[in-house]
Amino acid sequence: MEQIIRIGMDTSKHVFQLHGVNAAEDPVLRKKLRRKEMVAFFEKAPPTVIAIEACGGSHHWARLLQSFGHEVKLIPPQFVKPYVK
């Protein structure tokens, strides 16, 4: 698998959408994960930059992901572009 340099994470109550890109900005990761699966995924993943839309719950996830060694960027909602296939 190619090296993922950045992951965008869409948080919700039960299902998380992940979209990862490599150095060439090509998509190399698209996953839907539940809470427990998401925690297990990021515990095993090599440290990377993770972008999350700033909201009430995102601060909790940012602290958790940083404890696994990831760099988390909280971005304002107006800069979040919906992913369309």
What pLDDT digit, counting tens, does each position of 22-33 carry? Answer: 999 999 999 999
Whether residue 49 lies inside any domain: the answer is yes
For 67, phi and psi rounded to 5 degrees? -65, -20
Q: Pairing mode, if any, of strands 15-21 and 27-34?
A: antiparallel
Q: What is the rounded distance in angstroms from the CA atom of residue 53 to the CA atom of residue 75? A: 5
* Residue carrying structure tokens 């719950």: 57
Whether residue 41 lies inside any domain: the answer is yes
Interval 27-60: pLDDT, tens: 999 999 998 899 999 999 999 999 999 888 899 9
Residue 13's pLDDT band, with cuts at 50, 70 and 90, is confident
What CATH number is associated with residue 71?
Answer: 3.30.420.40
- The reported pLDDT for the residue numbered 78 is 81
Q: Which amino acid is at 57?
A: G
Whether residue 85 lies inside any domain: the answer is no
Helices (H), 6-84: 35-44, 58-67
For 18, the domain range is 6-79
> What are the beta bridge partners of residue 33?
16
Number of independent structural domains in the chain: 1
